C-alpha cells in the first residue's frame, strides 16, 4: 500500500525527517553525550550493586507502572462517558482537564495539601504516605489518558459500532469487542507517556510522598546539580534511559502494528435520558472532580480568601512583564514545536524508530541535558534561543504523536484521488490531508501549549530577570517568607489557570465535538 | 505560506533574539534581588549593560560555573558563600581581586578572591501561635528536640538539595562534633523529623504557620522580620520567632567575585564595588533578607525584628570542602535510607 500524503518517495520522507532529527540530535542527544563523556573516566559498575540505588530504580519502575494501571482503569470508563454522552459544558470540561498540566509543582502540592494535608478540608491527613504520592501522579496524568481515550473513541467509525449493536451485541460486549480494540493505539500511546513522565518525574510525587520515596531521577539530579559527580550520574542516567527507551520502542512497535486507516463518521452523542446514563454521568463527573478538579478548586478557594487589596498589589510591572513573557515564549515555542511536530509526524509514517524518536525528549534525563547544554554551548546558555528551543523540545512530541495517530487513520484513497485528479503533492496535502489532520493538530497543540505555559523544566535552565514568566514569578514569591508572598503566589496561580484556559480555548475553540471536519 | 518560508522566518526571528551588544554577565543564585532603579543606575554610571543570569540554588549555580570554566558563562559571580568558597577556589573559577571594594571595613571577610557583601544566619524558626496554643515550652537545646514531647515537630531541608539545609547540618557538626552530631541526627530521625527538598517546600507546605503541621522549621534569622514586612495588616510583632540553640545556628557569609577568564574586567571590578556601596548595602536587607557586611551601613527599620544571635558555628571553608561530600553521604544514610 503506497500512500501519498505529501509525496511518495522514501527519499523525501528522509528529507522531512532531517529537521526534527537534527533538532533532537542538537538539543537532546549531543548534550547528553557531552555530559556522559565528561564523567566517563570515573564510571564504576559497582554502583549498581548498591541496595539503596537498586531500591530507587525498582521504586521508580513500580510507581510508574502502578500509575499506568490506575490511570487506565479509571481513565477509560471516564473517557467513554465523556465521548459518548451529551451534557452541557462537555466541551469546556475537556479543556479544563488540561489545567493540571499547567500548574507549577509546588502550587499543585499546596492544592493537594489543602485537601489531604495535616489541616486539610477533607479531614484526612495523607501527607507523607505513598497514597498521596499516587494521588499526585493521578492528578497530573489522568487527564492525558482520558483525553487520548476520548479522541480514540470519537475516531471509531459509527457504522462498525452500529453494526455490532444491530447484530445483538450488548453495549458492554460492543465495548469489549469493538470500542476497546479501536481505542488501544490511543490508549497505549498515552500510557507510554504516563510511564515516561512518572518514571523520570521528581516533582509533585516527592513533595507529597516525602523524601523516602525519591525516584531515580532525584538521585541523578542531586548527583549532577549539587555534587557534580558526573560519573555516577551518567551511569545511573544511562540505566534509567535504557528503561524508558525500551518503553518508547515497545510502544512504537505496538502502534505501528495497530495502525488501521479508517474513515471517521462521528457517532451522535447519547442523550442522558435514562437512569443508568444519569448515574454513569454523575459518577464519572464525581471521579473526575475528585481527582483532577479538587486540588485546583482547593487552590481557588484559598485564593478567594485573599483580600481584595492583595489583588491590587499584583497590578504592577512585574506581573505585566510575566504575563507578556509567558505569552511571548509560549507563542515562540509553539511555532517551533508545530513545525517540528508536523515534519516528525509525516516522516514517522512508515518507521517504527522514527515513532519512538518522538518520545526521545521524555526519555533523556532532563538534568543531564540541561547541564550538557551548558558544556556544549556555553556562549548560548543564557540566550532566549536555547530557552525557547528547550520548551519546544518538551512540547513538540505532543503534536507529533497526535498527528501520527491521525495520519494512521487517514484513508489512503483520499490524497491518492486528489493526486489522480492532477493536484500537486503540496496542493493535495493542503486541501485534502490537512483538513483531515487539523483537529488532531489542534489537540496536540493544546497539550503542547500546556507544557510550555507550565514550563516543566523551568528550574533546570539558566534564567534572566527580564525573562520573568508567571511560573518563575510564583516561585520567586514562594522563595520568601510572609503572608503577602503566599497570597501573591496563590493569586498568580489563578491568573496562570485563566491564561492557560484562554490559550486552550483559542487553540481548540472552533471545533464543536472533536469530530474531524468534513 | 510554504514550509521553507515559515522555517526561514522562525530562524530569522531567533537569530534576531540572539544578537546582543557588549555587556557584563553576572551569574547569581536564584535569590538575588535588587531594586531595578539601582541596577539601572549602575548601568548608567559604568556604561555597560548588565546581563543578570540566575543559575538556581547557590550550590547548583557554582557547579554550573565550574562545569563551564573552560568557557565561562559569566564575568562576575555573586552568591559564593563560606560553605562553597573552598570548592570554588579549588576548582579555579575565581580571579583575584584587589580593588577599592576592600577599603570598606567589613564585619566578616571571605578571602580567596571573594569579596564578602552580606551575611545571614541559618537557624530554627518557631510558630509563636502554635506553641502558645499547645502550651508547650520552647526547646532549650538541640538535645530537647530528640525528646518525645517534641516528636514530629521539626522540618529540615535535605542538605543535598538545599543550602540552608546544608548549613544547618554543618552547624550541628561544628557544634557537637561529627560523631555526636550524627548520633543526634539518628535520634532525630527516630523522633520523626521531616525532610523537605528545599526551603520553599519546608516553609510553605510543612511549617504550621502556612498550613503544615510542624511548628519548627530551619530558616533564617531574618525570616521573622520578613514575616512582618510582608504581612497584610501592618503588624508590629512577628508571628514567628528565632530559636537560637547552640549547635543550631550557622553564619553564612556571601560574596561577589571576578570569574577567571571572564571579559569586561573593568566593569566587573566596578560591579564588585557596587555590591559594597552604601546604597546596595542598605537595600539588600529587604530585597534579599541578609545583613549588610560593611560596617556603618544603614539598618532597615524592619530589621528590629531580626536580632542577631550572639553566637554561631564556625567552620573553616577548607574543612567544609574536604569533608562536606562525605558528610552528605553519611547524613543521607543516617536520616533518609
B224-250 mean pLDDT: 91
Q: Torsion over CA of A94, A97, A99 and A102, rounded to 10 degrees?
A: -100
Give the integer Cα–Cα distance in Å for B123 and A160: 69
Q: Torsion over CA of B168, B169, B173 and B174, rounded to 10 degrees?
A: -30
Residues of chain A contacting residue B231, judged by C-beta atoms under 8 Å apart: 482-484
- Is the alpha carbon torsion for B6, A23, B72, B62 positive or negative? positive
B139-168 mean pLDDT: 94
Encode B17-51: b = buried (16+ Cβ within 10 Å), e = exposed.
eeeeeeebbbbbbbbbbbeeebbeebeeebebebb
pLDDT at B122: 97
As beta bridge partners, residue A463 has B54
pLDDT in tens, B93-130: 999 999 899 999 999 999 889 999 999 999 999 999 99
pLDDT at A182: 81
Chain B touched by A232 (CB under 8 Å): no
Mean model confidence pLDDT for chain A: 84
Instruction: Please name the member of A207, A378, A476 whose beta carbon is closest to the beta carbon of B73.
Output: A378
pLDDT at A450: 87
B73-78 mean pLDDT: 95
Inter-chain contact B67–A210, Cβ cutoff 8 Å? no
- How does DSSP assign A66-77, residue by residue? HHHHHHHHHHHH
Cα-based distances in Å from A366 to A47, A371, A391, A451, B173? 21, 9, 12, 14, 34
Chain B touched by A113 (CB under 8 Å): yes
Which residue from A480, A73, A54, A248 is spatially nearest to B289, judged by alpha carbons? A480
Instruction: Please name the member of B17, B31, B52 whose beta carbon is closest to the beta carbon of A385.
Output: B17
B173-186 mean pLDDT: 96
pLDDT at B13: 52
pLDDT in tens, A167-218: 877 878 888 888 888 888 888 888 998 999 888 877 776 778 777 778 888 8
Residues of chain B contacting residue A475, judged by C-beta atoms under 8 Å apart: 30, 200
B218-244 mean pLDDT: 91
Give the integer Cα–Cα distance in Å for A249 and B181: 49
Instruction: Please name the member of A119, A207, A336 whose beta carbon is closest to the beta carbon of B211.
Output: A119
Decide: B98 and B277 in contact? Cβ < 8 Å. no
Residue A457 has pLDDT above 70, yes or no: no
Decide: A371 and A30 in contact? Cβ < 8 Å. no
Distance from CA of B306 to the nearest CA of A (A): 13
Encode B86-125: b = buried (16+ Cβ within 10 Å), e = exposed.
bbbbebebbbebeeebeebebeeebebbbbbbbbbbbbbb
Distance from CA of A118 to the nearest CA of B (A): 6
A269-298 mean pLDDT: 89
B192-220 mean pLDDT: 92
Residues 32..91 of A with a Cβ closer than 8 Å to B: which? 38, 52
As beta bridge partners, residue A514 has none
Tell me which of B37, B200, B259 to substitute to probe the interface with A (most A C-beta atoms closer than 10 Å): B200
Distance from CA of A225 to the nearest CA of B (A): 5
Give the range among A365-374, A432-441, B316-325 with minimum mean pLDDT.
A432-441
Distance from CA of A8 to the nearest CA of B (A): 18
Distance from CA of B311 to the nearest CA of A (A): 24
Residue scoring higher pLDDT (A319 or A167) = A319
Decide: B114 and B67 in contact? Cβ < 8 Å. no
pLDDT at B76: 96
Decide: B294 and B102 in contact? Cβ < 8 Å. no
Inter-chain contact B223–A481, Cβ cutoff 8 Å? yes
Cα-based distances in Å from A433 to A212, A346, A418? 51, 11, 10
SS3 at position B195: strand
Chain B touched by A459 (CB under 8 Å): yes
Which residue from A446, A453, A463, A464 is spatially nearest to A401, judged by alpha carbons? A446
Q: How confident is the model at residue B187 (pLDDT cuts 50, 70, 90)?
A: very high
Q: How confident is the model at residue A3 (pLDDT cuts 50, 70, 90)?
A: very low
Q: Please state which CATH number belongs to domain B3-119+252-298.
A: 3.40.190.10
Residues of chain A contacting residue B30, judged by C-beta atoms under 8 Å apart: 463, 475-476, 479
Decide: B271 and B42 in contact? Cβ < 8 Å. yes
Chain B touched by A309 (CB under 8 Å): yes
Residue B34 has pLDDT above 70, yes or no: yes
Encode A373-404: b = buried (16+ Cβ within 10 Å), e = exposed.
bbbbbbebbbbbbbbbbbbbbbbbbbbbbbbb
Residue B38 has pLDDT above 60, yes or no: yes
Residues of chain B contacting residue A484, judged by C-beta atoms under 8 Å apart: 230-232
According to DSSP, the β-strands at B154-157 and B194-196 are: parallel
pLDDT at A262: 62
For the range B179-183, what are the long-range contacts, defined as Cβ-Cβ under 8 Å and sequence gap of 24 or more? Answer: B181/B247, B182/B330, B182/B331, B182/B334
pLDDT at A146: 94
Mean model confidence pLDDT for chain B: 90
Name the residue in chain A with its Cα closest to that of B211.
A119
Chain B touched by A377 (CB under 8 Å): no
Residue scoring higher pLDDT (A193 or A165) = A193
pLDDT at A29: 92
Residues of chain A contacting residue B56, judged by C-beta atoms under 8 Å apart: 225, 459-460
pLDDT at A71: 95
Residue B52 has pLDDT above 70, yes or no: yes
Inter-chain contact B226–A462, Cβ cutoff 8 Å? no
Residues of chain B contacting residue A479, judged by C-beta atoms under 8 Å apart: 30-31, 199-200
Residue extents of the structural domains in chain B: 3-119+252-298, 120-251+310-336
Chain B touched by A128 (CB under 8 Å): yes
Chain B touched by A481 (CB under 8 Å): yes
CB under 8 Å to B11, separation ≥6 — which residues? none
A408-413 mean pLDDT: 77
pLDDT at A377: 86
Inter-chain contact A207–B31, Cβ cutoff 8 Å? no
Name the residue in chain B with its Cα closest to that of A225.
B60
Residues of chain A contacting residue B211, judged by C-beta atoms under 8 Å apart: 110, 113-114, 117-119
Residues of chain A contacting residue B325, judged by C-beta atoms under 8 Å apart: 227
Decide: B312 and B251 in contact? Cβ < 8 Å. yes
Residues of chain A contacting residue B6, judged by C-beta atoms under 8 Å apart: 339
In CATH terms, the fold of domain B120-251+310-336 is D-Maltodextrin-Binding Protein; domain 2 (3.40.190)
Residues of chain A contacting residue B199, judged by C-beta atoms under 8 Å apart: 479
Inter-chain contact B161–A222, Cβ cutoff 8 Å? yes
Instruction: Please name the member of A128, A210, A226 whose beta carbon is closest to the beta carbon of B161.
Output: A226
Give the integer Cα–Cα distance in Å for B193 and A298: 27
Give the integer Cα–Cα distance in Å for A505 and A329: 18
Cα-based distances in Å from B291 to A208, B146, B280? 34, 31, 11
pLDDT at B117: 97
pLDDT at B212: 86
Specify burial of residue A318 (Cβ count, 10 A radius: 0-12, 13-18, 19+): middle
A271-283 mean pLDDT: 88
B154 — phi, psi (to 5°)? Answer: -115, 140
Residue B16 has pLDDT above 80, yes or no: no
Give the integer Cα–Cα distance in Å for B99 and B269: 7
Chain B touched by A484 (CB under 8 Å): yes
Which residue from B218, B222, B219 is spatially nearest to B303, judged by alpha carbons? B222
Distance from CA of A343 to the nearest CA of B (A): 10
Chain B touched by A123 (CB under 8 Å): no
pLDDT at A412: 75
Q: How confident is the model at residue A264 (pLDDT cuts 50, 70, 90)?
A: low
What is the DSSP-derived secondary structure letter of residue B90?
A: H
Residue B14 has pLDDT above 70, yes or no: no
pLDDT at A427: 83
Count of other CB atoms within 10 angstroms of residue B234: 7
Give the range among A287-296, A387-396, A508-517, B117-126 with minimum mean pLDDT.
A508-517
pLDDT at A339: 94
Tell me which of A376, A469, A481, A486 to substitute to probe the interface with B (most B C-beta atoms closer than 10 Å): A481
pLDDT at A267: 74
SS3 at position B157: strand
pLDDT at A2: 42
Distance from CA of B30 to the nearest CA of A (A): 8
Distance from CA of B153 to the nearest CA of A (A): 12
Inter-chain contact B231–A117, Cβ cutoff 8 Å? no
Give the integer Cα–Cα distance in Å for A397 and A445: 10
Residues comprising chain A, all counted: 518
Instruction: Please name the member of A374, A384, A385 whose beta carbon is closest to the beta carbon of B67.
Output: A374
Domains B3-119+252-298 and B120-251+310-336 share a fold: yes
Cα-based distances in Å from A176 to A12, A136, A217, A259, B178? 40, 30, 37, 19, 64
Residues of chain A contacting residue B66, judged by C-beta atoms under 8 Å apart: 228
Tell me which of A313, A433, A476, A482 to substitute to probe the interface with B (most B C-beta atoms closer than 10 Å): A482
Inter-chain contact A228–B10, Cβ cutoff 8 Å? no
- With pLDDT > 70 as the criterion, what percentage of chain B qualifies? 93
Domains identified in chain A and CATH numbers = 10-299+309-508 (1.10.3720.10)
pLDDT at A7: 44
Count of other CB atoms within 10 angstroms of residue A355: 28
pLDDT in tens, A329-378: 999 999 999 999 999 998 887 777 888 888 899 888 888 888 898 888 88
Residue A103 has pLDDT above 60, yes or no: yes
- With pLDDT > 90 as the criterion, what percentage of chain B qualifies? 76
SS3 at position A256: helix
Residues of chain A contacting residue B212, judged by C-beta atoms under 8 Å apart: 113, 117-119
Residue scoring higher pLDDT (B22 or B42) = B42
As beta bridge partners, residue A474 has none
Give the integer Cα–Cα distance in Å for A335 and A26: 18
CB under 8 Å to B246, separation ≥6 — which residues? B141, B142, B175, B311
Q: What is the 3-state secondary structure (H, E, C) of A132-186?
A: HHHHHHHHHHHHHHHHHHHHHHHCCCHHHHHHHHHCCCCHHHHHHHHHHHHHHHH
Residues 416..435 of A with a Cβ closer than 8 Å to B: which? 426
Which residue from B168, B146, B144, B155 is spatially nearest to B221, judged by alpha carbons? B168
Give the integer Cα–Cα distance in Å for A413 and A350: 17
Decide: A204 and A213 in contact? Cβ < 8 Å. no
Residue scoring higher pLDDT (B275 or A254) = B275
Q: CB pairs below 8 Å between A and B: how many?
A: 158
Give the integer Cα–Cα distance in Å for A503 and A324: 13
Instruction: Find the DSSP H helices in chain B.
Output: 3-18, 36-46, 58-67, 85-90, 128-133, 163-176, 178-190, 199-201, 223-229, 265-275, 278-288, 317-331
Q: Which helix (H) or strand (E) holds A459?
A: none
Give the integer Cα–Cα distance in Å for A148 and A139: 16
Name the residue in chain A with its Cα closest to that of B223.
A481
Instruction: Please name the member of A128, A380, A484 whose beta carbon is closest to the beta carbon of B232.
Output: A484
**Interface predicted TM-score of the whole assembly (ipTM), two decimals:** 0.85
Specify which of A48-57, A98-107, B33-42 reaches the highest per-range mean pLDDT: B33-42
Tell me which of B6, B60, B194, B327 to substitute to probe the interface with A (most A C-beta atoms closer than 10 Å): B60
Which residue from A319, A329, A341 is spatially nearest to A503, judged by alpha carbons? A329
Inter-chain contact B211–A113, Cβ cutoff 8 Å? yes
Residue scoring higher pLDDT (A512 or A197) = A197
Give the range among A113-117, A241-245, A391-395 with minimum mean pLDDT.
A113-117
Residue B253 has pLDDT above 60, yes or no: yes
pLDDT at A517: 36
Amino acid at each position: 500500500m503506497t500512500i501519498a500524503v505529501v509525496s511518495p518517495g522514501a527519499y523525501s520522507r528522509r528529507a522531512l525527517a532531517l529537521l526534527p532529527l537534527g533538532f533532537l540530535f542538537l538539543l537532546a542527544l549531543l548534550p547528553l553525550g557531552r555530559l556522559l563523556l565528561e564523567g566517563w573516566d570515573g564510571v564504576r559498575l559497582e554502583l549498581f550493586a548498591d541496595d539503596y540505588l537498586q531500591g530507587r530504580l525498582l521504586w521508580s519502575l513500580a510507581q510508574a507502572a502502578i500509575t499506568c494501571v490506575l490511570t487506565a482503569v479509571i481513565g477509560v470508563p471516564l473517557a467513554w462517558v465523556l465521548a459518548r454522552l451529551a451534557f452541557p459544558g462537555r466541551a469546556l470540561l475537556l479543556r479544563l482537564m488540561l489545567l493540571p498540566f499547567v500548574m507549577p509543582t509546588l502550587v499543585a502540592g499546596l492544592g493537594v495539601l489543602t485537601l489531604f494535608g495535616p489541616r486539610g478540608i477533607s479531614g484526612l491527613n495523607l501527607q507523607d504516605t505513598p497514597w498521596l504520592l499516587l494521588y499526585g501522579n493521578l492528578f497530573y496524568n489522568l487527564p492525558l489518558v482520558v483525553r487520548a481515550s476520548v479522541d480514540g473513541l470519537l475516531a471509531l467509525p459509527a457504522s462498525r459500532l452500529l453494526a455490532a449493536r444491530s447484530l445483538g451485541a450488548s453495549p458492554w460486549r460492543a465495548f469489549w469487542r469493538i470500542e476497546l480494540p479501536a481505542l488501544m493505539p490511543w490508549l497505549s500511546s498515552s500510557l507510554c507517556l504516563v510511564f515516561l513522565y512518572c518514571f523520570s518525574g521528581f516533582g509533585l510525587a516527592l513533595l507529597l510522598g516525602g523524601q523516602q520515596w525519591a525516584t531515580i531521577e532525584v538521585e541523578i539530579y542531586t548527583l549532577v546539580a549539587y555534587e557534580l559527580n558526573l560519573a555516577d550520574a551518567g551511569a545511573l542516567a544511562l540505566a534509567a534511559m535504557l528503561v524508558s527507551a525500551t518503553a518508547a520502542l515497545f510502544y512504537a512497535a505496538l502502534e505501528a502494528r495497530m495502525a488501521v486507516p479508517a474513515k471517521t463518521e462521528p457517532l451522535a452523542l447519547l442523550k442522558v435520558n435514562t437512569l443508568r446514563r444519569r448515574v454513569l454521568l454523575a459518577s464519572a463527573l464525581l471521579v473526575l472532580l475528585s481527582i483532577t478538579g479538587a486540588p485546583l478548586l482547593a487552590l481557588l478557594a484559598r485564593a478567594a480568601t485573599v483580600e481584595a487589596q492583595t489583588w491590587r498589589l499584583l497590578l504592577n510591572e512585574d506581573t505585566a512583564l510575566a504575563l507578556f513573557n509567558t505569552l511571548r515564549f509560549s507563542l515562540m515555542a509553539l511555532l517551533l514545536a508545530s513545525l517540528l511536530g508536523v515534519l516528525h509526524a509525516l516522516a514517522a509514517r512508515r518507521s517504527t524508530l522514527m515513532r519512538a524518536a518522538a518520545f526521545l525528549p521524555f526519555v533523556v534525563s532532563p538534568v543531564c541535558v540541561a547541564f550538557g547544554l551548558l558544556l556544549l554551548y556555553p556562549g548560548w546558555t543564557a540566550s532566549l534561543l536555547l530557552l525557547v528551543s528547550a520548551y519546544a523540545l518538551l512540547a513538540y512530541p505532543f503534536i507529533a504523536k497526535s498527528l501520527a495517530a491521525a495520519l494512521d487513520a487517514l484513508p489512503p484513497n483520499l490524497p491518492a484521488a486528489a493526486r489522480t485528479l492532477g493536484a500537486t503533492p503540496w496542493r493535495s496535502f493542503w486541501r485534502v490531508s490537512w483538513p483531515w489532520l487539523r483537529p488532531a493538530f489542534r489537540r496536540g497543540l493544546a497539550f503542547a501549549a500546556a507544557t510550555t505555559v507550565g514550563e516543566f523544566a523551568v528550574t533546570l535552565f539558566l534564567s534572566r530577570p527580564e525573562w520573568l514568566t508567571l511560573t518563575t514569578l510564583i516561585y520567586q514569591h514562594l522563595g520568601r517568607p510572609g503572608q503577602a508572598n503566599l497570597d501573591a503566589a496563590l493569586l498568580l496561580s489563578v491568573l496562570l489557570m485563566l491564561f492557560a484556559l484562554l490559550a486552550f480555548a483559542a487553540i481548540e475553540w472552533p471545533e464543536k465535538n472533536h469530530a474531524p471536519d468534513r | 505560506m510554504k514550509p521553507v518560508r515559515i522555517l526561514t522566518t522562525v530562524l530569522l526571528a531567533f537569530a534576531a533574539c540572539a544578537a546582543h551588544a557588549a555587556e557584563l554577565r553576572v551569574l547569581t543564585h536564584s535569590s538575588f534581588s535588587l531594586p531595578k532603579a539601582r541596577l539601572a543606575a549602575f548601568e548608567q554610571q559604568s556604561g555597560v549593560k548588565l546581563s543578570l543570569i540566575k543559575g538556581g540554588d547557590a550550590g547548583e549555580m557554582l557547579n554550573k560555573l565550574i562545569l563551564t570554566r573552560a568557557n565561562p558563562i559569566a564575568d562576575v559571580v555573586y552568591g559564593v558563600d563560606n560553605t562553597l568558597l573552598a570548592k570554588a577556589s579549588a576548582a579555579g573559577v575565581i580571579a583575584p581581586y584587589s580593588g577599592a571594594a576592600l577599603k570598606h571595613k567589613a564585619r566578616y571577610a571571605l578571602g580567596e578572591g571573594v569579596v564578602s557583601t552580606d551575611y545571614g544566619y541559618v537557624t530554627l524558626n518557631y510558630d509563636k501561635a502554635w506553641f502558645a496554643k499547645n502550651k508547650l515550652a520552647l526547646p532549650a537545646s538541640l538535645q530537647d528536640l530528640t525528646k518525645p514531647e517534641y516528636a514530629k515537630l521539626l522540618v529540615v531541608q535535605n542538605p543535598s538539595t538545599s543550602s540552608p539545609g546544608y548549613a544547618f547540618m554543618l552547624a550541628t557538626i561544628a557544634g557537637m562534633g561529627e560523631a555526636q552530631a550524627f548520633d543526634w541526627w539518628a535520634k532525630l530521625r527516630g523522633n520523626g523529623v521531616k525532610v523537605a527538598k528545599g526551603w520553599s517546600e519546608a516553609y510553605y507546605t510543612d511549617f504550621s504557620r502556612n498550613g503544615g503541621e510542624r511548628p519548627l522549621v530551619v530558616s533564617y534569622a531574618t525570616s521573622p522580620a520578613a514575616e512582618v514586612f510582608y504581612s497584610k495588616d501592618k503588624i508590629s510583632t512577628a508571628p514567628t520567632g528565632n530559636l537560637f540553640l547552640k549547635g543550631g545556628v550557622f553564619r553564612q557569609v556571601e560574596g561577589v567575585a571576578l570569574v577567571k577568564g571572564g571579559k569586561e574586567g573593568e566593569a566587573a571590578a566596578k560591579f564588585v564595588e557596587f555590591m559594597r556601596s552604601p546604597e546596595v548595602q542598605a537595600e539588600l536587607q529587604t530585597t534579599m533578607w541578609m545583613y549588610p557586611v560593611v560596617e556603618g551601613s544603614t539598618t532597615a527599620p524592619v530589621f528590629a525584628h531580626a536580632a542577631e544571635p550572639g553566637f554561631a558555628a564556625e567552620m573553616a571553608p577548607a574543612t567544609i570542602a574536604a569533608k562536606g561530600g562525605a558528610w552528605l553521604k553519611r547524613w543521607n544514610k543516617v536520616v533518609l535510607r
